[in-house]
Amino acid sequence: MIEIEGITKRYGETTVVKDVSLTIAPRTVTVIVGTSGSGKTTLLRMINRLVEPTSGTIRLDGEDNRTLPGFELRRRIGYAIQGHGLFPHRTVAQNIATVPTLLGWDRARIDAKVAELLTLFQLDPAAFGPRYPHELSGGQQQRVGVARALAAEPKVLLMDEPFGALDPIIRAKAQDDLLAIQKHFETTIVLVTHDMEEAFHLADRIAVMDKGEVVQYATPAEMLVKPATPFVESLIGAGERPFRLLAIETVADAVEPGAAEGEAISSTASQREALSALLWSGRKALPVIGPDGAVIGKVSLEGLAQRAAGPA
């Protein structure tokens, strides 16, 4: 658990983060969004004390983050940034091994960890471990950057626009990989982005920042139905609301009894994907298949239209 309490950061006369309080539950993904210059990076970097707050307290599992020396804190908290920040003259394996080596892990344990992470990120350890960063694609470099941040099995992973430099298809894949890895290691992730689509895809809770203040801290569904301010509403994009609502729910929650013709959709797909399939195929309903492959009902255009409607 991360408890941010009354955190303020001033540079001279300028307040860049203003009295922010947030409680972040363990094993969740919290996304901080906001326009450029709203204080997202500064807030994130106060968690691992790359930036020292002017006032306020941050506790990690009940412990004030000032009780540990900064370097120790940063060994314990993973940190991944846009453009990966890999050491160019170290191999992929050496890059990933950075923090475990500092912590004095033995060779066998380090090698096992490097192999485990590369495999999880779908990079063959034998092929990729000995390569240098410039011998990798942008997407592969990004995965190695995240693997390195996770190497010492941190409970907390801070990510600052980690996928900002990736093209849309690789980016979507990187987001899905991150969610899978977050579940695998049960990491608490705090991620900064200015991309609302990314926020809605990844977040258990979203914190919206505007001029140094958190103006809303809520689940994606709450935020869609009840944006706290006109700024939040504009950030969500009024025209996107019904589609975002459908995108954060799965077909499993929209299954109706009955049969439908044609190609089926998985109950784990998003309702937005179901809407897309309905519109594209010109059908009124799709059969839905459950986790074991059997048809469990249908999802209908009418049903989704009701679900996408805002509060009356």
Residues that bind ligand ADP (CB under 6 A): 11, 16, 34, 36-42
Shortest separation between residue 27's beta carbon and ligand ADP, angstroms = 25
Instruction: Identify the helix (H) or strand (E) that includes residue 217.
Output: strand 213-218
For residue 190, the number of C-alpha atoms closer than 13 Å in the C-beta half-sphere is: 29
Q: Which does 36 bind (CB under 5 to 8 A by kind): Mg ion, ligand ADP, none?
A: ligand ADP
Spatial contact of 58 and 65, defined as CB atoms under 8 Å apart: yes
Nearest to 278 by CA among 295, 297, 301: 301
Shortest separation between residue 299's beta carbon and ligand ADP, angstroms = 39
Q: Of 32 and 110, which has the nearer Cβ to Mg ion? A: 32
Applying CB under 5 A, the residues found at the interface with Mg ion are 41
Token pair 């901080």 is found at 32
Q: Of 16 and 299, which has the nearer Cβ to ligand ADP? A: 16
Q: Which does 188 bind (CB under 5 to 8 A by kind): ligand ADP, Mg ion, none?
A: none
Shortest separation between residue 54's beta carbon and ligand ADP, angstroms = 12
Q: Which does 16 bind (CB under 5 to 8 A by kind): ligand ADP, Mg ion, none?
A: ligand ADP
Q: Of 14 and 126, which has the nearer Cβ to ligand ADP? A: 14
SS3 for 11? strand
Q: Of 41 and 216, which has the nearer Cβ to Mg ion? A: 41
Q: Which does 267 bind (CB under 5 to 8 A by kind): Mg ion, ligand ADP, none?
A: none
Shortest separation between residue 242's beta carbon and ligand ADP, angstroms = 28
Token pair 């977040």 is found at 203
Cα distance between residue 133 and residue 141, in whole Å: 6
Q: What are the percentages of helix, strand and coil residues in the chain, rounded to 5?
A: 40, 25, 35
Shortest separation between residue 202's beta carbon and Mg ion, angstroms = 17
Q: Of 17 and 285, which has the nearer Cβ to Mg ion? A: 17
Q: Which does 37 bind (CB under 5 to 8 A by kind): ligand ADP, Mg ion, none?
A: ligand ADP
Q: Is the dihedral of CA 60, 189, 81, 20 positive or negative?
A: negative
Shortest separation between residue 39's beta carbon and ligand ADP, angstroms = 4
Exposed/middle/buried for 224, CB within 10 Å: 0-12, 13-18, 19+? Answer: buried
Q: Of 92 and 208, which has the nearer Cβ to ligand ADP? A: 208
Cα distance between residue 39 and residue 137, in whole Å: 31
